[in-house]
């Protein structure tokens, strides 16, 4: 219901593997041209503006009411390592934005799995 009044906060999922960070964002009703991606320092920034218009008419074709809503959003996803900026890939399909951020060699070696001993 809050989206109806112009507030929009897309759902974001972040998955990190040894080689990459994969970010997916749900942006229903938007096009890729309404979204802007930026790598800013140690974060990925997703921003855009969602516009919606709803019009209802009666059986005679007379307009009963028109409702418009606008909502800008910005999500900043912190990145835990260095990224190969020239190899970042973004695609948009069926309302889902997918961004693949390959880790640099330094970023891949920056994390180390730690084993846990049981008692």
Task: Check residues 4 and 103 and name the one with the higher pLDDT.
Answer: 103
Could you list the residue range(s) of the whole structural domain that residue 34 is in? 2-110
pLDDT digits (tens, 9 = 90+) for 78-87: 998 899 999 9
CATH code for the domain of 106: 2.60.40.790
How many whole angstroms separate alpha carbon 28 and alpha carbon 12? 12
Residue 15 domain-assigned? yes
pLDDT band (50, 70, 90) for residue 7: low
What does the pLDDT look like over 30-51, one tens digit per residue? 889 999 999 988 999 999 987 7
Q: Is residue 106 part of a domain?
A: yes
- State residue 79's pLDDT score: 92
Q: Is 10 inside a domain boundary?
A: yes
User: How many domains does the chain divide into?
Assistant: 1
Q: Which residues of 100-110 are buried (b: 16+ CB within 10 A; e: fewer)?
A: ebbbeeebeee
Judge whether 115 lies within some domain. no
Give mean pLDDT, residues 93-115.
81
pTM: 0.73
């Amino acid at each position: 219901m809050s989206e109806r009044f112009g507030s929009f906060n897309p759902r974001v999922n972040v998955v990190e593997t040894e080689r990459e960070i994969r970010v997916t964002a749900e942006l229903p009703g938007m096009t890729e041209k309404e979204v802007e991606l930026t790598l800013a320092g140690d974060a990925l920034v997703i921003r855009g503006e969602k516009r919606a218009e709803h019009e209802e008419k009666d059986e005679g074709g007379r307009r009963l009411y028109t409702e418009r809503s606008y909502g800008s959003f910005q999500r900043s996803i912190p990145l835990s390592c260095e990224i190969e900026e020239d190899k970042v890939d973004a695609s948009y399909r069926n309302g889902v934005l997918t961004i693949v951020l390959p880790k640099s060699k330094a970023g891949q070696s920056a994390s180390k799995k730690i084993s846990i001993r049981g008692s």
